[in-house]
Chains A and B, each alone.
Chain A
Amino acid sequence: MGAYNTIAFDAAKCDGCGDCMSACANTKVGADDALKEAPLGGTARSRIQIGGTAETGYELALCRQCGDPKCVTVCPAGALGKDLSNGVIGWDAAKCVDCLLCTVGCAYAGIALDEATGRVAKCDMCEGNPSCVKACPHDALKLVTTSRIYNEVGGWEDLFAPGLAGCQGCNTELLMRHTLRRVGPDTVLATPPGCVPGMGSVGFNGTTGTKVPVFHPLLTNTAPMLAGVKRHYKRIGREVTALAIAGDGGASDVGFQSLSGAAERNEQILFMVVDNEGYMNTGMQRSSCTPYGAWTSTTPVGQGAGGVHSQGKTQDAKNLPLIMVNHRCEYVATASTACMEDLYDKLDKAIEASRRGFAYLHVYSPCTTGWRFPTDQNMEVARKAVDTTFVMLWEYTRADGLHFTRPVDDPLPVTEYLKAMGRFRHLSDDQISHIQSKVVENLGFVKQLAHGAKA
């Protein structure tokens, strides 16, 4: 499968003018005559519908041309199908039995009853040149090429077993499945104690959750043990990717010496840290990657003695990826599951770099359980971390130095990030000021590194 085009909607730019709906109806049925009042005074004959108000914000109802379309799955007549040449989900009027099950299956209101004909209607992308996009005066609709992740990676083998026992809303399973799909079967995978094996990737009592060779190193020796595997395959002339998916605690605390040693020796491994800012698998204890002020089970909030309140962690987080930059690794990058395209670019580069030397990928991974936020907010929390520059996305090579891959021109105040989580609920104004000033300081520091790299 190649990349497909789809229509993207930017709600912030939409003013609800309805020009898109008129254009669609004109194109598809030759008129914008409404059978009945459509939202915003548009037309019910349009395949695109804009709902909402200026106060509540505008929403889009339109076929997403899904890769895994539920309308197709539920259709009992075989009337709906995805055209693999262009990605468009087509409707066959001759086969349709008008049961309307597809309208129930679609979560996006992308296929709906056209009361004028008594049959369903949906977007067909206007042969690749949609009228709605051309008609939008505000740039709120754009024709974009869909994620190559969806189209390419979706077809690769998932090398983890279904049904891993992660916490509800955890994004680490997403990360694991995507990563191993990309790395492929000629891999030896190391997952030291933590959430990754905790959800069953290595297995329990004779079962295993992974389809490639996988092992538990000690919490302390992931990098050298994996390096030993890689070295012997190199010696006997076999190309094997050596991949670690480790937690921040083992990497930044008790396993730091062995990580540093392996990086200094430029061992040909890819070391991925899934940073959920603490020992979350063992019950949410503090690590050196835990940020200032955060509640953890070993930096709890309490009244304290002598009027000195306990207010979460009292030290700033160790910046492990910058420490790895100072090892002059083949490749170092930070990533976030809020920015999967960015993550994928970096994964490609890291895999390639690990054939030459030490590659290090640091992925920020919000922890639904330990950071205390609702289970449907994981991506939102990850996105807020990036948008406030609490987390910065950059990459480093010896040749090109450090540069931002997703610069944030106008960062949101850090409170937008902090207020999304229960672990920061207790923060005083002074603590928030400290965090904001540290965010600014860290951003300035990395900007200096990035600037120096170009100079």
Chain B
Amino acid sequence: MSTTTLEAPVEAKPKQKVILCEGNEAAALGVALARPDMVAVYPITPQSSLVEHVAKLIADGRMDADIVDAEGEHSVLSVLQGGALAGARTYTATCGPGLAFMFEPYFRTSGMRLPIVMSIVTRDGITPQSVWGGHQDAMTVREVGWVQVYCETVQEVLDTTIMAFKIAEHHDVMLPVNVCLDGNYLSYGTSRVELPDQAEVDAFMGVKDVNWHVALDPLRPMAVDPLTGGSSGRGPSTFVRYRKGQCRGMQNSLRVIEEVHEEWAKRFGRSYAPLVEDYRMEDADYAIMTLGSMSGAGKDAIDEARDAGKKVGLIKIKTFSPFPVDVLMKSLKNVRALGVVDRSVGFRWNCGPMYQETLGALYRLGRHVPAQSFIGGLAGADITVGHFHRVIEATEALLSGPASTEPVWLNEND
């Protein structure tokens, strides 16, 4: 496995239409290109314009899908579960309180191995009341068996949304996928986007086959999700077999995500690090870690630090669930100090969730690496190049001094 495919060789680029659009529209265009049979929608800030774009694409005949305007997120995902069990390719989007309301069927989707794709236009948790971006919603459900990938740019949102269907429906995976795009910064951020050709996307997607493993179909009747478990008979082993299968699907997805990104790069000429991106990590003594749209400002800060002679690099996580421990360990191989920047809070360990996950990977390294948790960008706050310089300086200090068990709150005095 390679830790970066940013410099992957690119074949002759197919001609692609160039447009200007926001991240939510890019996601909608990606959905249309992936040709789902069914989408279910319920509006919530900052996701709303995404489902509005989807509805308009269908109304204009640019997308052929059954759209269900459900009465809430709980029903949104429930309708899609039924559709998927009948053989439909399915899509929705939500965030924040909507994701919380959806949690009951959300938990079940991965257990039934339904390859539903759902964008999370990430939003901070309430309370305190807020309608702005932050990763708290997606982070809160990171332990529920969905594959979760985070995008950095509007173009990556479009491309990843299409790739997500192929990853989810891979027979070795068969799991739902969240494409996370930062509320405000990516949802409303407008940029130049190359629009792939439909025929090329069709060839990339291949033949749809979403309910070969579990179906509600009178032509092949089966009981879906009968009672299992308990302490006797076949109960315990049956339940364990299902759970182990989920875990195996999650681990398989690491390989499939890499393969799908590689094929995408070959077909469309745009490559992204599928799991973990190393940015200027060659000969780096220490590193900072980022997730999502903050990474752009982080890379600018790294460039300036490098210009100033500092031996620092940046590690960006794209695939957060499953956590790509093996690949991350390669990135961390020569690192002697680490600063991890989270856009959400881990209440149990008084740190950022990604920081906490990374500590687990560091343990496997077998040597002590001082690390510091930074929390910034909550509830729509910006994480600027200036903030990242503070992160770089504090991480550099770990090379010669002690690490704190307290997180650094980047926007505390903004």
Contact = CB atoms under 8 A, between A and B. Distances in A.
Interface of A: 185-188, 197, 202-218, 220-221, 223-233, 235-236, 240, 257-258, 260-262, 264-265
Contact of A185 (B218, B220, B228): B218
9 cross-chain pairs, A with B, having the tightest CB-CB distances, nearest first: A228-B82, A261-B71, A221-B78, A203-B226, A208-B223, A232-B86, A215-B224, A224-B75, A228-B83
Given A212-B218, A212-B221, A224-B70, A205 B105 contact: no
B284 interface: no
B104 A226 contact: no
Interface stretch (B11-19, B231-239, B333-341, B365-373): B231-239
Nearest to B90: A228
Contacts of A261: 70-72, 75
A284 B108 CA distance: 27
Contact of B78 (A203, A207, A212, A258): A258
Contacts of B72: 257-258, 261
Interface in B64-79: 66, 68-72, 74-75, 78-79
B265 interface: no
Which of A188, A227, A228, A265 has the largest count of B CB atoms less than 10 A from its CB?
Answer: A228
Most buried by A among B87, B216, B227, B228: B216
B226 A207 contact: yes
Nearest to A219: B104
A217 B78 contact: yes
A206 B40 CA distance: 32
Nearest to B77: A221
Contacts of B104: 218, 220-221
Interface string B69-113: 111101100111111111110000000000000001100100000
A223 B71 CA distance: 12
Contacts of B70: 224, 261, 265
B223 A205 contact: no
B215 interface: yes
Contacts of A230: 82, 86
Interface string B204-220: 00000000000111101
A211 B222 CA distance: 8
A197 B37 CA distance: 30
B37 A225 contact: no
B227 A203 contact: yes
B68 A202 contact: no
Contacts of A257: 71-72, 74-75
Contacts of A207: 226
A282 to B, nearest CB: 14
B68 A216 contact: no
B226 A225 contact: no
Residue among A224, A227, A231, A262 with most chain B CB within 10 A = A224
Contact of A205 (B68, B82, B87, B235): B235
13 contacts: A204-B228, A213-B218, A213-B222, A214-B224, A215-B225, A224-B82, A228-B83, A228-B86, A231-B83, A231-B88, A232-B82, A258-B75, A262-B75
Contacts of A220: 74, 104
Contacts of B85: 215, 228-229
Given A213-B221, A228-B85, A265-B70, 12 more contacts: A185-B221, A197-B227, A203-B223, A205-B227, A205-B228, A208-B222, A213-B215, A213-B220, A228-B84, A232-B83, A235-B38, A258-B72
Interface of B: 37-38, 40, 66, 68-72, 74-75, 78-88, 104-105, 108, 215-218, 220-230, 233-235, 238
A218 B218 contact: no
Contacts of B38: 228, 231-232, 235
B144 to A, nearest CB: 15
Contacts of B74: 220-221, 224, 257-258
Nearest to B104: A218
Point out which of A210, A229, A236, A240 has the most chain B C-beta atoms below 10 A from its C-beta. A229
B414 to A, nearest CB: 40
B238 A206 contact: yes
A262 to B, nearest CB: 8
A213 B217 contact: yes
A203 B225 CA distance: 9
User: Which among B40, B69, B74, B215 has the highest number of chain A CB atoms within 10 Å?
Assistant: B74
A206 B234 contact: yes
- Which of A207, A221, A236 is most buried by chain B, counting CB atoms within 10 A of its CB? A221
Given A203-B227, A208-B226, A218-B105, A229 B216 contact: yes
A220 B223 CA distance: 19
A212 B224 CA distance: 11
Contacts of B234: 205-206
B88 A232 contact: yes
B79 A205 contact: no
A233 B218 CA distance: 11
Nearest to A211: B221
A257 B73 CA distance: 11
B93 to A, nearest CB: 17
Contact of A221 (B105, B215, B222, B233): B105
A261 B79 CA distance: 11
The winner among B37, B71, B87 for most chain A CB atoms within 10 A is B71
B172 to A, nearest CB: 24
Contacts of B222: 208, 213
The interface centre, meaning the residue of A188, A211, A226 with most chain B CB atoms within 10 A of its CB, is: A188
Contact of A235 (B88, B226, B228): B88
A232 B66 contact: yes
A392 to B, nearest CB: 29
Contacts of B37: 232, 235
A223 to B, nearest CB: 8
Contacts of A226: 82
Contacts of B220: 213
A260 B74 CA distance: 13
A187 B105 CA distance: 23
